[in-house]
């Protein structure tokens, strides 16, 4: 369960940033700051788990995923360092040597954030559909470890770098639907 939650978090970062893969010219990695509502359905459970939280990414501080309700969980990754704070308050450092997929997944997401479509297309079939406002990006994992856990990832954006919705379909039959809202700016 722990590695599944972490993999889903990392895939979330990749999916949000994958929309930038439609641009063939590498660009600076964008910053994202939003709140989210996540609805998680699992096979065998009739009631979905609904959680709320915040997500931030910027090239300097890395990725921050925090569930604030109904429990508290934090996952942070910056470069080769990753850690999670579990609901009981304990903090666990994630060692890249113990989790070799972490470095590979991070490489995929940094490539996506920088617009490096070659690297992204090495792992996913990427389909971008322009919409009246924004675009829809479909990612289908190519055969390999990621395809063992994920069937597809869909991202809907209001504009490049502005995710509105994310759907991750898992091979287990589980599904994660996430709706994003821009984070409130503090009053001056």
Q: H-helix or E-strand containing 157?
A: strand 150-159
The whole-number pLDDT of residue 37 equals 93
The whole-number pLDDT of residue 6 equals 44
The whole-number pLDDT of residue 121 equals 79
Angstrom distance (rounded) from CA 73 to CA 21? 29
Span 96-134, pLDDT tens digits: 666 655 666 666 555 554 445 566 677 789 888 888 888
Angstrom distance (rounded) from CA 125 to CA 108? 13
Whole-model pTM: value is: 0.72
The whole-number pLDDT of residue 47 equals 94
Reduce the DSSP state of residue 11 to 3 states and report it. helix
Mean per-residue pLDDT pooled into runs of 10, the chain (188 residues): 46 48 48 86 92 86 89 86 92 76 59 55 84 84 86 80 81 89 64
The whole-number pLDDT of residue 74 equals 93
The whole-number pLDDT of residue 87 equals 95
Angstrom distance (rounded) from CA 133 to CA 187? 29
Closest CA to 166 of 19, 7, 2: 19
The whole-number pLDDT of residue 26 equals 44
User: What's the angle, vertex CA 156, arms to CA 142 and CA 120, rounded to 5?
Assistant: 30
């Amino acid at each position: 369960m722990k590695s599944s939650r972490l993999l889903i978090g990392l895939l979330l970062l990749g999916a949000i940033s994958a929309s930038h893969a439609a641009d063939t010219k590498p660009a600076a990695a964008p910053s994202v700051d939003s709140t989210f509502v996540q609805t998680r359905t699992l096979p065998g459970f009739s009631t979905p788990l609904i959680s709320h939280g915040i997500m931030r990414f910027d090239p300097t501080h890395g990725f921050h995923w925090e569930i604030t309700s109904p429990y508290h969980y934090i996952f942070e990754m910056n470069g080769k360092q990753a850690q999670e704070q579990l609901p009981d308050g304990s903090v666990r450092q994630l060692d890249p040597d113990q989790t070799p997929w972490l470095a590979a997944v991070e490489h995929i997401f940094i490539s996506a954030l920088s617009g490096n479509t070659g690297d992204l297309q090495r792992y996913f079939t990427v389909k971008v559909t322009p919409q009246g406002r924004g675009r829809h990006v479909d990612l289908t994992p190519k055969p390999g470890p990621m395809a063992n856990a994920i069937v597809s990832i869909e991202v809907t954006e209001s504009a490049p770098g502005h995710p509105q919705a994310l759907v991750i379909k898992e091979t287990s039959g589980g599904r994660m639907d996430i709706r994003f809202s821009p984070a409130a700016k503090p009053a001056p």
